[in-house]
Structure 1
Amino acid sequence: MFKNLKVIDLSTVLAGPSVGSFFAELGADVIKVENPVYPDITRSWKLPMENQSSSVSAYFSSINYKKTYQQLNLKLESDREKLYELVKTADILLMNFKFGDQEKLKITDEILREFNSQLIIGKINGYGDKSDRVAYDLILQAESGIMSMNGTPESGPVKMPVAFIDVLAAHHLKEGLLIELISKKSNENYKGKSVTVSLYEAAVSSLANQASNYLMNNAVPQRIGSLHPNIAPYGELFNTSDDRTITFAIGSNTHFSKLCDYLNLSALAMNNRYSTVQERVKNRTELFELLKVKVVEHSADETLEYMNEHFVPCGEIKNLKAVFETNLAQDLVRSEVIDGVETKRVTGIAFRSK
């Protein structure tokens, strides 16, 4: 799809490199440029069981795929000249430098476009173009309100177990860059643009319904575990007769009625305390107690099969071992040898086109 596209990836950690991998997986020529003394820090972010002497880690591998690698110290004029040569034939350049570093390294947008006026520059920063704050995903989850509403009353604030904000910011940057590529293709006199995404804005923009719950009703979200503030039963965990754990996402009265029919609790669907979404939310604790004694009478497979056949959202709580034992997940795994190491990751491409 992008076999004639050339991307220079100066970024490190997760957000920027995952954008580079996105284009690489779609056929682009992506050159990852690293400082020979201080390469991408995620090369060293290893689990205890990983080879400590290896130049790659599982974390690094997750967002560096199908790239070629060059070592350039941009503080040296000779290496900077090599970058300038790469820029001459590039379409996109990715970076996530701290505020002021572009000037120090003499690679400002203006300087780079002296070598290629159509160059599209994609940037990730923490708190906006003029902020020099160091930004890590954890800190953004803390300061954007996400941690405050994630967890349970007993657990206290909890971060999500993936770099959620980095992933979101990367998607926003991809969208902006794709828009610029469309503009460039349709305009022979195109002048290069810079697309900037801040982790903070990506985080706040993801608050979606929780933001509107507050903005419209002054409702500050509380930590309620996997429960949903607007829907019930949704996120409650149920044990089955074969000691597995399942959960339901009952988003409509129809869903609820079918669930009740299956559990021989049809009268509940007509009960005023549970007949509407709002009433089920108000009385969710009592409702959970009524449902759980019935759910545990059935096996997980039996329940899942019935719910799937009747289009009621239901799923089993799985760990990653169970996830990657499924054909659907295995189809998303991509392998590549980097520095002599067999690496694996999941694809960054979740869409299909025919």
Structure 2
Amino acid sequence: MGALSRLRVLDLTQVLAGPYCTMLLADMGADVVKVERPGGDLIRPNPPFVDDPDAEAYGGYFQSVNRGKRSLEIDFDSERGREEFLSLVTEADVVVENFRAGTMERFDLGYETLRAQNPELIYSSIRGFGDPRTGETHRQGQPSFDIIAQALGGVMEITGFEDSPPTKVGPGIGDLFTATLNCVGILAALHHRDRTGEGQYVDTAMYDAMISMTERAIYQHSYTGAAPTRQGNSHPTLFPYDAFEAADGYVVIAAFGTNHWKALCEAMERPDLATDYPNPDRRLAHRDALREEIRAWTRERSSDDICETLEGSVPVAPVQNTDDIFDDPHVHAREMLVSVDQPGADRPVDIAGSPIKMSETPPRPRGRAPLLDEHRTELLEEPQQPAESD
């Protein structure tokens, strides 16, 4: 049994932020019903595919963040569809949606309507700029995507090298971090409901989430009066804390503690550096010259050699690609690669596992993503109760 077994979540979300949030709930045992518009989630046809997009039900994008859910296709423009949805709301614990502000109200299915149907309901929204209920702004109603959130929230301004243009972070953190915070909000609201019987509205905005993520830039600006900008892989207040070129790739070294710095200098056979730069302030003030000293040492050695030399005394790691990740026994021991069926393909596929580990109710992907409208009969024509989680 998962920690959230017998919790019913109606998932009206699509693309990435909302589905990732409800995927976290599904991994923890919630019965997540993916309520899809006619034609299904926009990302169902997105690549990659194992072999043949015409034969396979959906691509890797949809599979990754919709595993373990049930699907029901509903048209909110029809009276029948609205009635079907309201019948599910009566027995639901949580509704999650990521439409633009005002969309659900156009169908007369907004928070107030659903709360009248089920006073204990947790209604959660993920939007680019939040909902007027929690703070009205001129941006609400505008569309937002990951790159927009990263740009507005200051992430791009502090990502990249000093002489390069602003750069977005590779993973869609505008979506994923917002989704994770929304999941935290839902769980907090459920705890409140358990104590009081009171449902509530949970709202998480992508722009807000990116400001929260760039907390370092916020306090730096307040303390110094200057806007932080790009400085590559280095840290604004710690050194060495950077990526260094090896003979066959790159490694990262985080030797900003004096004990780590001394160990690094010893490994480099440069005790003079430890003597000449004995404290963090002095190392930070001369980091350009020290970076070149470290780079001269790493450039002549393989990543494995550097890591074997420093491990145990200096924080170090190779910069890995996914080939390396798939080959790493640590990743397999932690069950961070999970095999699921890919409908229409002749082999299963691997997706990322759950990073949340629990001793008694371990979260895990609970099967493949659903086919569109796959669970209509069991959801609408059978008694209304959450599916058991194994």
TM-aligned CA distance change 1:48 to 1:335, over 3 Å: closer
Indicate which of 234, 240, 248 corresponds to 1:233: 240
1:195 aligned partner, one-letter code: V
Residue matched to 2:43: 42
SS at match of 2:120: coil
> Contact 2:49/2:60 (CA < 8 Å) preserved in 1?
no
Secondary structure of 1:73's match? coil
**Counterpart of 1:353?**
359
Instruction: Give % identity.
Output: 28
Matching of residue 221 in structure 1 with residue 231 in structure 2:
no
Matches within 5 A, 1:109-148: 109-130=111-132, 131-148=140-157
The residue that corresponds to 2:337 in the other structure is: 333
Mapped partners of 1:27, 1:89: distance in 2: 17
Q: 1:292 aligns with which of 287, 295, 301?
A: 295
1:143-182 equivalent positions in 2, closer than 5 A: 143-182=152-191
Map of 2:386 onto structure 1? none
For the residue of structure 2 that corresponds to 1:238, the secondary structure is strand
The secondary structure found in structure 1 opposite 2:292 is helix
Identify the range of structure 1 (313-322 vs 45-54) with the bigger mean alpha-carbon deviation.
Answer: 45-54
> How far apart are 1:267 and its partner, in Å?
1.5
- Give the AA of the match of 1:246: V
Gaps of 5+ in 2: 133-139, 361-390
Deviation per CA, 1:279-318, whole angstroms, max 9, x where unpaired? 22221121122222223444433331232222x1111111
Q: Does 1:252 align with 2:257?
A: yes
What residue identity is the alignment partner of 2:341? V
1:278 corresponds to which of 278, 281, 291 = 281
Pairwise CA distance, 1:50: 6.2
1:306 aligns with 2:309: yes
The correspondence for 2:14, drawn from 6, 12, 15, is 12
Q: Could you tell me which amino acid in structure 1 is paired with residue 181 of structure 2?
A: H
Taking a change above 3 Å as real, the CA distance of residues 83 and 349 of structure 1, as seen in their structure-2 partners, is farther
Instruction: Indicate the residue corresponding to 1:62 in structure 2.
Output: 64
* 1: CA distance, partners of 2:211 / 2:127: 14
Question: Equivalent residue of 2:238, what SS?
Answer: coil
Q: CA deviation at 1:245?
A: 2.1
Q: Does 1:107 align with 2:112?
A: no
How does 1:187-206 map onto structure 2 within 5 Å?
187=196, 190-206=197-213
Code of the residue aligned with 1:138 in structure 2: it is I
Shift, 1:47, TM fit: 4.2
- Judged with a 3 Å threshold, the aligned counterparts in structure 2 of structure 1 residues 340 and 113 are, in CA distance, closer, same or farther, namely farther
Q: Distance in 1 between matches of 2:223 and 2:163?
A: 28
- Which structure is higher in RCO with an 8 Å CA cutoff and minimum separation 6? 2
Change (3 A) 1:27 1:340: farther
In structure 2, what is the equivalent of residue 266 of structure 1? 271
| Distance in 2 (alpha carbons) for counterparts of 1:340 and 1:36 | 21
Q: How many residues align?
A: 346
Greater CA deviation, 338-347 or 278-287? 338-347
2:195 is aligned with 1:186? yes
**C-alpha distance in 1 between matches for 2:289 and 2:350:** 45
Letter in 1 for 2:270: L
1:312-331 equivalences under 5 Å are 312-330=314-332, 331=335
1:17-65 alpha-carbon deviations (Å, 9 max, x no partner):
111111111111111010123x211223324886433431211112111
Letter of the 1:45 partner, please give it: N
Partner SS state of residue 311, structure 2: helix
Number of the residue aligned with 1:76: 78
1:191 to 1:350, Cα distance in 2 relative to 1, 3 A: closer
Q: Residues 211-263 of structure 1, C-alpha deviation per residue, up to 9 Å, x if partnerless?
A: 211111123222221111111121131314xx242120123111111100111
For the Cα contact (< 8 Å) 2:22–2:183, is it kept in 1?
A: no
What's the secondary structure of 2:357's corresponding residue?
A: coil
Distance 2:189 2:51 in 1: 40
Contact 2:246–2:301 at 8 Å: present in 1 too?
no
TM-score when scaled to structure 1? 0.92
Describe the SS at the equivalent of 1:63: helix
- Give the structure-2-normalised TM-score: 0.84
CA contact (8 A) 2:246 2:302 kept: no
- For the 8 Å contact 1:50–1:57, the answer to whether it is kept is no
Distance 1:140 1:282, change over 3 A: same
Q: Distance in 2 between matches of 1:349 and 1:92?
A: 23
Partners of 2:244 and 2:298 within 8 A in 1 = no
Distance 1:227 1:137 in 2: 24
Residue 29 of structure 2 is matched in structure 1 by 27
